[in-house]
Amino acid sequence: MKESLIQFWQNNSETIIALGYNVILATVILIASSIMAKAVRKAIQNTNSKLKKLDATLIPIFSTVASYAVYLIGGVFILDIFGVNTASLIALVGAAGLAIGLALKDTLSNIAAGIMLLILRPFNTGDFIEFGGTQGTVREINLFTCVLETVDGLYIASPNSVLWGNNIKNFTRNGKRRMDIIVGISYSDSIDEGFAVLQKIAENEPRLLSTPAPQIMVASMMDSAVNIQFRAWANNDDYWPTYWDLNKRIKESIEAAGLTIPFPQRTLHLVGTDPISLNKNR
C-alpha cells in the first residue's frame, strides 16, 4: 500500500502540487470575494445614509446586486484557474440572460421604470399626482407598481411602466397652488364695483399668499354675463378649504354689493311675422 502511494506520488506529484496550488488560490479568491462583497454592501449603505441620494427601497437591491457581482467576478477567476473556458461560459450565460429577458420583458420594464422613478423622483410618497387621467395620493413606490389612493378612498396599483410612459402632473411638489374662481355679473353692472368687491375679499383672506399677488381681471364676455376672474395662490394645505370658502364668500359679497349674478338666458326676436295671422293658421 505504501509502495503504491509512493509510486502514485512519483508519477503525479507535479499534477497534485499544481492542483493543490489552484485549490489554495481558489480558496483565497473565494474568501477575498466574500470580504469584498460585504465591504461593498456596507459601503453602499453607509454612503447613502450620509448623502441620502437613493431611496430606501433601492439600497438593499443595489447592495445585493453589487455583492453578487463581486461573487460572480470571483467565480470567473476561479473557473479560469482550473482551466474552464470562461469565454464560452459567459456566452452561454449571456444567451440565457437574453432569453429570460425576452420572456420577462414586461416585468423588467416595470423594474427599470421603478428604478428611474425612485432615482429621478418626479413624485414622493404623500404627493397628489395625475397621470393618464388617473388622480390620487401616492402611498407606496416599489420596483413593480405605484400604489395610490384616490380622493374617494379607492386603492389603485399602477404598473411603473404606465407612469413612466405618461406625463406626470404633481400637484404637491411646488408647495403652493393657484386657484381660479370665475363669477359673472350683469352687463348693466359696474365692472369696477365688481373688482372692488373681489379686491376686498383678497385683502381680508389671510390664507392667500402675497407673492404671487392675487389678480382680478375680466376673463370673458358671455351671452348674458361679464365673467370676472379671481386668481390667487395658497399653500397646498390651505388650498381646498380656501377655495371652498372663497366661492361662498364671493357669491354673497357680489349680491350684498347690489350686483347681479345673471342666469343664462336667451332673447328671441320674431321679425316679419304677424301674431294674429299666426294664431289663425293654427
pLDDT for 208 equals 96
In a domain, 278, yes or no: no
Choose the final residue of a domain: 55, 71, 103: 103
213 & 150 share domain: no
Q: Which residues contact 89 (CB under 8 A, 6 or more apart)?
A: 79
In-domain check, residue 269: no
Q: Do 228 and 141 belong to one domain?
A: no
Q: Is residue 273 part of a domain?
A: no
Residue 158 and residue 236 in one domain: no
Shared-domain flag, residues 80 and 10? yes
* Residue 212 preceded by cis peptide, ω within 30: yes
Which range among 44-48, 53-57, 117-121, 201-205 shows the weakest confidence by mean pLDDT?
Answer: 53-57
User: In terms of domains, do 136 and 204 share one?
Assistant: no
Q: Is residue 279 part of a domain?
A: no
Verify that 7 and 95 share a domain, yes or no.
yes
180 in the same domain as 247 = yes
164 and 225, same domain (yes or no): no
Domain that holds residue 217: 176-256
pLDDT band at 26 (very low <50, low <70, confident <90, very high): confident
Task: Evaluate if residue 7 carries a pLDDT over 70.
Answer: no
**Domain termination site, one of 50, 72, 103:** 103
β-strand pairing of 134-141 with 168-170: unpaired
- With respect to residue 265, please indicate whether it lies within any of the assigned structural domains: no
Locus of grid cell 454612503: 47
CA distance 120 to 91: 33
State the average pLDDT for the chain.
82
From the CB of residue 44, how many other CB atoms can be counted at a distance below 10 Å?
20
Same domain, 129 and 153: yes
Find the DSSP H helices in 52-178.
Answer: 58-81, 86-103, 105-120, 160-164
Q: What pLDDT, on a 0 to 100 scale, did the predictor assign at position 46?
A: 77
Q: Count of domains in the chain?
A: 3
Give 251's pLDDT tier (boundaries 50, 70, 90).
very high
pLDDT band at 118 (very low <50, low <70, confident <90, very high): confident
Shared domain for 54 and 135, answered yes or no, is no
Residue 234 lies in a domain: yes
**pLDDT at position 64:** 73
Comparing 39 with 195, which gets the higher pLDDT?
A: 195
Which of 138, 170, 202 is at the close of a domain? 170
- The reply to whether 91 falls in a domain is yes
Which one of 87-96, 135-144, 267-276 scores highest in mean pLDDT?
A: 135-144
Pick the more confident residue, 189 or 111: 189
The CATH number given to whatever domain includes residue 61 is 1.10.287.1260
Q: What is the pLDDT of residue 247?
A: 95
Same domain? For 10 and 67 the reply is: yes
Give DSSP secondary structure letters for 80-110.
HHTT--HHHHHHHHHHHHHHHHHHTHHHHHH
Q: Are 270 and 264 in contact (CB under 8 A)?
A: no
Take residue 121 and report the three cell numbers written for it: 423622483
CATH number at residue 126: 2.30.30.60
When comparing pLDDT for 74 and 189, which is higher? Answer: 189
Q: Identify whether residues 141 and 59 lie together within a single domain.
A: no
Domain contains 117: no
pLDDT given at position 196 = 95
**pTM for the structure as a whole:** 0.62
